[in-house]
Structure 1
């Protein structure tokens, strides 16, 4: 796995453990709600991750973009599918999303590269 992909995943896991370890009922419920919202339901997981990625780009949350890109990669979305998500997000969010698009493309490429390094 590339260094930034590994660093992101390790940091996220470490901080989630610390946050959940504080045993705050409201935060635990928010994390649980987030987990359950992306489970299979009337919409399949792929569709939910597509929506999550587009929304995260429009909201300009780089950590969320990385998370949803990772999930899209795990669900085997193609480059064409991801770039269509990027295009919709940039259309809706406007040109202010372009810097986040650059970082998203970089992270997507690192995810794909980590796949070939794992073989």
Structure 2
């Protein structure tokens, strides 16, 4: 991974953390409700958490949300998804989103590498 890509990913992570800390420090009820929804939606149920994160990764590629791509890649790996499972989720995102999703998938591959995929 080149330094520019690493810096971009680290900036996305840093920006998300700062925004999170700010909203929590301000006591945002809407944000707290969103965090509760996220916690419930991604908790293991009939689908294990890693599969929910892989679904979210595919959706993130289709909507071209780089912050979402980075987050759900990291969370899928943390929840036990393999590199191969992440790659398949990326491929599903490409299929569902067509040509524009191939652009998002390139960022997803960088996020996978950043979070521990093969170099």
What's the TM-score, normalizing by structure 1? Answer: 0.82
Partner of 1:77, secondary structure, is coil
Structure 2: distance between partners of 1:9 and 1:87: 24
Q: List per-residue Cα deviations over 1:92-113 (Å, max 9, x = no partner).
A: 1111111111111112112116
Q: List per-residue Cα deviations over 1:17-65 (Å, max 9, x = no partner).
A: 1012221222221122112211112211111111111111111111001
Equivalence for 1:66: 70
Equivalence for 2:97: 93
Give the aligned length: 114
Q: Where does structure 1 lack aligned partners over 5 or more consecutive residues?
A: none
CA RMSD of aligned residues (A): 2.1
User: Does structure 2 conserve the Cα–Cα contact (< 8 Å) formed by 1:65 and 1:104?
Assistant: yes
Structure 2: distance between partners of 1:40 and 1:18: 28
Equivalence map 1:1-119=2 (5 Å): 3-112=7-116
User: Does structure 2 conserve the Cα–Cα contact (< 8 Å) formed by 1:39 and 1:45?
Assistant: yes
